[in-house]
Amino acid sequence: MTKAERAAYVASKLAELYPETPIPLDHKDSYTLLIAVLLSAQCTDERVNLVTPALFKKADTPQKMAKLSVDEIREIIRPCGLSPQKSKAIHRLSEMLIELHRGKVPADFESLEALPGVGHKTASVVMSQAFGVPAFPVDTHIHRLAQRWKLTNGKNVTQTEKDLKRAFPESEWNALHLRIIFYGREHCTARACDGTVCEICRTLYPDRKRAVKTKKA
């Protein structure tokens, strides 16, 4: 298969497996999504979803969050890990949303990435899922699978994002990045598949005998 043929097969198969693409992080608007995505750094979505109800009960808007102390936020989000850094970021970004954006989450990459704790991946998730702007956030699952399927050389996540954006139509990016994550969690996991086990890997590379050594993100 050519790279274009592999990409077309991947897109078709994943759409068949995951016709619906619900966002794994529980939220009700762009602000709560932003906070949930920030909390998900080096933490599972499942754990974030266990923590955010208590946090959002106390503060589900920038105005309410800014009134909490950093210590109060840290105590609630402690199970997510990196709580000292995340609590400071959440508190300060909430203040900045009030100061700079009238309490609203901005719908542009530059403004989002200027907020504390918000990198390109977090901004991409918010832009794609909250505002419907085409983006291709690359997490560890996507980085791993893109290498196994030879859709990227895996040099780094920035390169992987560029390669995937070239491989797939822009109209598919927002759903596809979630579909790849779902598949990476359920079938082509870091341990259960090494590039030779899951259905997509076997279909794309039926003669592959050796495990694929993926470069870390």
The CA distance from 49 to 28, in Å, is 12
Return the residue matching tokens 């899922």.
Answer: 129
Is 108 marked active-site? no
Of 86, 121, 163, 194, which residue is the catalytic one? 121
Length of the chain in residues, anyone? Answer: 217
The CA distance from 155 to 217, in Å, is 8
Is 207 marked active-site? no
Of 3, 45, 139, 162, which residue is the catalytic one? 139
The CA distance from 67 to 108, in Å, is 26
Cα 154 to Cα 132, 145, 213, distances in angstroms: 27, 10, 10
Number of H helices and E strands in the chain, helices first, is: 12, 0
The CA distance from 184 to 106, in Å, is 30
Report the catalytic residues: 121, 139
